[in-house]
Amino acid sequence: MNKIDQHRAFDGWQQRYTHASSSCNCDMTFAVYLPPQADRGPVPVVYWLSGLTCTDANFVEKAGAQRIAAGLGLALVAPDTSPRGADVADDDAYDLGQGAGFYVNATQAPWAQHYRMYDYVSDELPRLLAENFSAELDLSHEALAGHSMGGHGALVLALRQPERYRAVAAFAPICAPTEVPWGEKAFGTYLGDDRDSWREYDATALLERSAGDVPPMRIEQGEADGFLAEQLSPERFAVTADQSHAPLMLNRRAGYDHSYFFIASFMDEQLAFLAEYLEP
Protein backbone atom coordinates (compact mmCIF):
# COMPACT_ATOMS: atom_id res chain seq x y z
CA MET A 1 0.00 0.00 0.00
CA ASN A 2 1.01 3.61 -0.52
CA LYS A 3 -0.21 6.24 1.95
CA ILE A 4 -1.09 9.36 -0.04
CA ASP A 5 -2.74 11.54 2.59
CA GLN A 6 -3.02 11.84 6.38
CA HIS A 7 -4.63 14.36 8.72
CA ARG A 8 -5.14 14.50 12.49
CA ALA A 9 -8.87 14.65 13.23
CA PHE A 10 -10.62 14.51 16.63
CA ASP A 11 -7.52 12.87 18.18
CA GLY A 12 -7.61 10.15 15.52
CA TRP A 13 -6.18 9.88 12.01
CA GLN A 14 -7.85 10.36 8.64
CA GLN A 15 -5.73 8.49 6.10
CA ARG A 16 -5.88 7.67 2.38
CA TYR A 17 -4.15 4.84 0.53
CA THR A 18 -3.68 3.44 -2.95
CA HIS A 19 -2.83 -0.16 -3.77
CA ALA A 20 -2.73 -2.59 -6.67
CA SER A 21 -6.04 -4.47 -6.71
CA SER A 22 -6.22 -8.07 -7.90
CA SER A 23 -10.04 -7.92 -8.01
CA CYS A 24 -10.25 -4.82 -10.18
CA ASN A 25 -6.95 -5.23 -12.05
CA CYS A 26 -5.94 -1.64 -11.47
CA ASP A 27 -4.82 0.68 -8.69
CA MET A 28 -7.59 1.35 -6.18
CA THR A 29 -7.96 4.05 -3.54
CA PHE A 30 -9.60 3.90 -0.13
CA ALA A 31 -9.81 6.11 2.96
CA VAL A 32 -9.73 5.00 6.58
CA TYR A 33 -10.47 6.94 9.74
CA LEU A 34 -8.81 5.52 12.86
CA PRO A 35 -10.44 6.89 16.03
CA PRO A 36 -8.30 7.62 19.11
CA GLN A 37 -9.40 4.33 20.71
CA ALA A 38 -7.46 2.47 17.97
CA ASP A 39 -4.23 3.58 19.68
CA ARG A 40 -5.13 1.25 22.55
CA GLY A 41 -6.40 -1.75 20.61
CA PRO A 42 -8.60 -2.96 17.73
CA VAL A 43 -11.91 -1.16 17.15
CA PRO A 44 -15.02 -2.14 15.13
CA VAL A 45 -15.21 -1.23 11.45
CA VAL A 46 -17.93 0.52 9.46
CA TYR A 47 -17.60 0.39 5.67
CA TRP A 48 -19.07 3.41 3.91
CA LEU A 49 -20.09 2.95 0.26
CA SER A 50 -20.64 6.15 -1.69
CA GLY A 51 -23.00 6.98 -4.53
CA LEU A 52 -22.87 7.83 -8.22
CA THR A 53 -20.09 10.21 -9.36
CA CYS A 54 -18.40 10.05 -5.94
CA THR A 55 -14.93 8.99 -4.87
CA ASP A 56 -13.87 8.05 -1.34
CA ALA A 57 -13.26 11.75 -0.69
CA ASN A 58 -16.90 12.90 -0.77
CA PHE A 59 -17.81 11.08 2.43
CA VAL A 60 -14.56 11.99 4.16
CA GLU A 61 -14.88 15.69 3.42
CA LYS A 62 -18.65 16.29 3.63
CA ALA A 63 -20.36 13.89 6.03
CA GLY A 64 -18.90 15.13 9.32
CA ALA A 65 -18.50 11.52 10.42
CA GLN A 66 -15.07 11.65 12.07
CA ARG A 67 -16.22 13.52 15.17
CA ILE A 68 -19.03 11.03 15.73
CA ALA A 69 -16.84 8.01 15.03
CA ALA A 70 -14.23 9.28 17.48
CA GLY A 71 -16.85 9.51 20.21
CA LEU A 72 -18.16 6.02 19.48
CA GLY A 73 -14.80 4.35 18.90
CA LEU A 74 -15.55 3.28 15.33
CA ALA A 75 -13.17 3.02 12.39
CA LEU A 76 -14.57 4.20 9.06
CA VAL A 77 -13.41 2.64 5.78
CA ALA A 78 -14.48 4.31 2.53
CA PRO A 79 -13.50 2.65 -0.77
CA ASP A 80 -13.78 4.34 -4.13
CA THR A 81 -16.96 3.70 -6.10
CA SER A 82 -15.37 2.00 -9.12
CA PRO A 83 -12.10 1.03 -10.75
CA ARG A 84 -10.37 3.94 -12.46
CA GLY A 85 -7.62 4.61 -14.97
CA ALA A 86 -6.90 5.22 -18.62
CA ASP A 87 -7.19 1.50 -19.40
CA VAL A 88 -10.48 1.05 -17.49
CA ALA A 89 -13.69 1.02 -19.52
CA ASP A 90 -15.78 4.16 -19.12
CA ASP A 91 -18.89 5.89 -20.41
CA ASP A 92 -19.79 9.54 -20.99
CA ALA A 93 -22.91 9.23 -18.81
CA TYR A 94 -22.66 9.95 -15.09
CA ASP A 95 -24.52 6.75 -14.16
CA LEU A 96 -22.29 4.24 -15.93
CA GLY A 97 -18.57 3.49 -15.97
CA GLN A 98 -16.00 5.14 -13.75
CA GLY A 99 -17.68 6.49 -10.62
CA ALA A 100 -20.62 4.13 -11.15
CA GLY A 101 -19.48 0.60 -10.30
CA PHE A 102 -22.77 -0.33 -8.58
CA TYR A 103 -20.91 -2.80 -6.32
CA VAL A 104 -21.44 -5.73 -8.70
CA ASN A 105 -19.10 -8.21 -10.38
CA ALA A 106 -19.51 -7.42 -14.07
CA THR A 107 -19.75 -10.35 -16.47
CA GLN A 108 -19.92 -8.50 -19.80
CA ALA A 109 -17.09 -7.17 -21.97
CA PRO A 110 -15.38 -4.76 -21.64
CA TRP A 111 -16.53 -4.23 -18.06
CA ALA A 112 -15.69 -7.66 -16.64
CA GLN A 113 -11.94 -7.02 -16.79
CA HIS A 114 -12.06 -4.36 -14.05
CA TYR A 115 -15.57 -3.90 -12.63
CA ARG A 116 -15.58 -6.41 -9.77
CA MET A 117 -16.56 -4.11 -6.94
CA TYR A 118 -18.54 -6.73 -5.01
CA ASP A 119 -15.44 -8.89 -4.63
CA TYR A 120 -13.30 -5.86 -3.90
CA VAL A 121 -15.45 -4.57 -1.05
CA SER A 122 -16.47 -7.90 0.46
CA ASP A 123 -13.17 -9.77 0.14
CA GLU A 124 -10.04 -8.01 -1.08
CA LEU A 125 -10.31 -4.79 0.93
CA PRO A 126 -11.00 -6.55 4.26
CA ARG A 127 -8.03 -8.87 3.64
CA LEU A 128 -5.83 -5.86 2.94
CA LEU A 129 -7.03 -4.22 6.16
CA ALA A 130 -6.37 -7.38 8.14
CA GLU A 131 -2.81 -7.54 6.82
CA ASN A 132 -1.98 -3.89 7.48
CA PHE A 133 -4.15 -2.77 10.42
CA SER A 134 -4.32 -5.83 12.67
CA ALA A 135 -3.45 -3.74 15.73
CA GLU A 136 -6.09 -1.07 15.02
CA LEU A 137 -9.09 -2.82 13.43
CA ASP A 138 -11.33 -5.57 14.80
CA LEU A 139 -12.57 -7.23 11.63
CA SER A 140 -14.73 -9.65 13.59
CA HIS A 141 -17.05 -6.69 14.20
CA GLU A 142 -18.09 -5.19 10.84
CA ALA A 143 -21.05 -3.09 9.73
CA LEU A 144 -22.08 -1.37 6.51
CA ALA A 145 -23.42 2.04 5.56
CA GLY A 146 -23.85 3.96 2.34
CA HIS A 147 -25.72 6.48 0.23
CA SER A 148 -27.83 6.03 -2.92
CA MET A 149 -25.87 3.61 -5.15
CA GLY A 150 -23.75 2.93 -2.07
CA GLY A 151 -26.83 2.35 0.04
CA HIS A 152 -27.82 -0.26 -2.53
CA GLY A 153 -24.36 -1.82 -2.20
CA ALA A 154 -24.49 -1.83 1.59
CA LEU A 155 -27.90 -3.51 1.69
CA VAL A 156 -26.87 -6.12 -0.87
CA LEU A 157 -23.67 -7.06 0.96
CA ALA A 158 -25.53 -7.32 4.26
CA LEU A 159 -28.32 -9.43 2.81
CA ARG A 160 -25.96 -11.76 0.96
CA GLN A 161 -23.72 -12.24 4.03
CA PRO A 162 -26.02 -11.82 7.04
CA GLU A 163 -23.80 -13.95 9.26
CA ARG A 164 -20.90 -11.55 8.77
CA TYR A 165 -22.17 -7.99 9.06
CA ARG A 166 -23.66 -6.95 12.41
CA ALA A 167 -25.93 -4.20 11.01
CA VAL A 168 -26.48 -1.98 7.97
CA ALA A 169 -27.54 1.65 7.60
CA ALA A 170 -28.35 3.49 4.39
CA PHE A 171 -29.23 6.99 3.23
CA ALA A 172 -31.65 7.11 0.26
CA PRO A 173 -30.63 3.70 -1.09
CA ILE A 174 -31.63 2.28 -4.46
CA CYS A 175 -33.74 -0.47 -2.92
CA ALA A 176 -35.03 -2.28 -6.03
CA PRO A 177 -32.51 -1.62 -8.81
CA THR A 178 -33.92 -4.26 -11.17
CA GLU A 179 -37.13 -2.19 -11.35
CA VAL A 180 -35.78 1.36 -11.83
CA PRO A 181 -33.90 3.19 -14.62
CA TRP A 182 -30.53 3.49 -12.84
CA GLY A 183 -30.40 -0.22 -12.09
CA GLU A 184 -31.79 -1.42 -15.40
CA LYS A 185 -29.17 0.57 -17.28
CA ALA A 186 -26.23 -0.49 -15.10
CA PHE A 187 -27.23 -4.14 -14.67
CA GLY A 188 -28.05 -4.58 -18.34
CA THR A 189 -24.63 -3.19 -19.24
CA TYR A 190 -22.53 -4.93 -16.58
CA LEU A 191 -24.46 -8.20 -16.21
CA GLY A 192 -26.12 -8.74 -19.59
CA ASP A 193 -29.67 -9.70 -20.54
CA ASP A 194 -30.26 -12.43 -17.95
CA ARG A 195 -32.47 -10.58 -15.50
CA ASP A 196 -32.35 -13.49 -13.04
CA SER A 197 -28.67 -12.72 -12.50
CA TRP A 198 -29.61 -9.13 -11.67
CA ARG A 199 -31.61 -10.28 -8.65
CA GLU A 200 -28.38 -11.29 -6.89
CA TYR A 201 -27.71 -7.54 -6.56
CA ASP A 202 -31.26 -6.37 -5.78
CA ALA A 203 -31.88 -5.75 -2.07
CA THR A 204 -35.65 -6.22 -2.33
CA ALA A 205 -35.29 -9.49 -4.24
CA LEU A 206 -32.71 -10.74 -1.72
CA LEU A 207 -34.97 -9.79 1.18
CA GLU A 208 -37.91 -11.63 -0.40
CA ARG A 209 -36.05 -14.92 -0.14
CA SER A 210 -34.35 -14.26 3.20
CA ALA A 211 -37.14 -15.44 5.54
CA GLY A 212 -36.25 -12.43 7.70
CA ASP A 213 -32.87 -13.85 8.73
CA VAL A 214 -30.98 -10.60 8.13
CA PRO A 215 -28.98 -8.06 10.14
CA PRO A 216 -30.73 -5.05 11.70
CA MET A 217 -31.34 -2.43 9.00
CA ARG A 218 -31.95 1.31 9.16
CA ILE A 219 -32.83 3.61 6.25
CA GLU A 220 -33.02 7.40 6.19
CA GLN A 221 -35.08 8.79 3.31
CA GLY A 222 -35.60 12.47 2.57
CA GLU A 223 -39.12 13.22 1.42
CA ALA A 224 -37.90 16.09 -0.81
CA ASP A 225 -35.46 13.80 -2.61
CA GLY A 226 -35.74 14.43 -6.34
CA PHE A 227 -34.86 10.79 -7.09
CA LEU A 228 -37.34 9.26 -4.65
CA ALA A 229 -40.27 8.51 -6.93
CA GLU A 230 -38.37 7.21 -9.96
CA GLN A 231 -35.23 5.54 -8.60
CA LEU A 232 -35.23 4.58 -4.90
CA SER A 233 -38.32 2.48 -3.95
CA PRO A 234 -37.96 2.50 -0.13
CA GLU A 235 -41.65 1.73 0.36
CA ARG A 236 -41.32 -1.38 -1.80
CA PHE A 237 -38.45 -2.51 0.41
CA ALA A 238 -40.35 -1.69 3.60
CA VAL A 239 -43.36 -3.75 2.53
CA THR A 240 -41.09 -6.70 1.77
CA ALA A 241 -39.37 -6.32 5.16
CA ASP A 242 -42.73 -6.32 6.90
CA GLN A 243 -43.85 -9.43 5.04
CA SER A 244 -40.55 -11.17 5.89
CA HIS A 245 -40.60 -10.01 9.53
CA ALA A 246 -37.17 -8.51 8.89
CA PRO A 247 -35.73 -5.90 11.29
CA LEU A 248 -36.03 -2.59 9.40
CA MET A 249 -36.31 0.98 10.66
CA LEU A 250 -37.35 3.35 7.86
CA ASN A 251 -37.19 7.03 8.81
CA ARG A 252 -38.89 9.47 6.46
CA ARG A 253 -37.38 12.93 6.83
CA ALA A 254 -39.59 15.86 5.75
CA GLY A 255 -37.87 18.53 3.66
CA TYR A 256 -34.59 16.70 3.13
CA ASP A 257 -33.15 15.99 -0.32
CA HIS A 258 -30.51 13.63 -1.75
CA SER A 259 -27.44 15.68 -0.81
CA TYR A 260 -24.67 15.44 1.77
CA PHE A 261 -26.50 18.11 3.78
CA PHE A 262 -29.08 15.38 4.42
CA ILE A 263 -26.38 12.83 5.24
CA ALA A 264 -24.57 15.14 7.66
CA SER A 265 -27.85 15.92 9.42
CA PHE A 266 -28.43 12.30 10.49
CA MET A 267 -24.95 10.78 10.49
CA ASP A 268 -24.86 10.80 14.29
CA GLU A 269 -28.03 8.70 14.50
CA GLN A 270 -26.89 6.24 11.84
CA LEU A 271 -23.48 5.63 13.41
CA ALA A 272 -25.00 5.32 16.88
CA PHE A 273 -27.37 2.70 15.49
CA LEU A 274 -24.48 0.71 14.03
CA ALA A 275 -22.38 1.09 17.18
CA GLU A 276 -25.15 -0.52 19.23
CA TYR A 277 -24.68 -3.77 17.28
CA LEU A 278 -20.90 -3.55 17.09
CA GLU A 279 -20.31 -3.74 20.83
CA PRO A 280 -18.17 -6.75 21.82
Q: What is the pLDDT of residue 211?
A: 81
> What average pLDDT does this structure show over 67-80?
98
Q: What is the pLDDT of residue 270?
A: 98
Give me the chain's average pLDDT, please.
97
Q: Do the beta carbons of residue 134 and residue 143 sit within 8 Å?
A: no
The pTM for the full model equals 0.97
Helix, strand or coil, per DSSP, at residue 207? helix
- Report the candidate in 144, 129, 150 with the shortest Cα–Cα distance to residue 216: 144
Active site amino acids: 148, 225, 258
Query: What are the domain boundaries of the chain?
Result: 2-278
> What average pLDDT does this structure show over 31-54?
98
Is the pLDDT confidence value at 242 over 90?
A: yes
Q: What is the pLDDT of residue 88?
A: 98
Q: What is the pLDDT of residue 57?
A: 97
Topology (CATH) of 2-278: Rossmann fold (3.40.50)
pLDDT in tens, 221-231: 999 999 999 99
Q: What is the pLDDT of residue 90?
A: 98
Helix, strand or coil, per DSSP, at residue 264? helix
Q: What is the pLDDT of residue 253?
A: 98
Is the pLDDT confidence value at 280 over 90?
A: no
> What average pLDDT does this structure show over 241-253?
96
Is the pLDDT confidence value at 212 over 90?
A: no
d(CA 157, CA 217): 12
Is the pLDDT confidence value at 132 over 90?
A: yes
Is the pLDDT confidence value at 66 over 90?
A: yes
> What average pLDDT does this structure show over 188-200?
97
- Report the candidate in 241, 227, 226 with the shortest Cα–Cα distance to residue 181: 227
| Alpha carbon separation from 233 to 221, 255, 271, 274 (Å, rounded) | 10, 18, 23, 23
- Report the candidate in 1, 277, 274, 275 with the shortest Cα–Cα distance to residue 130: 1
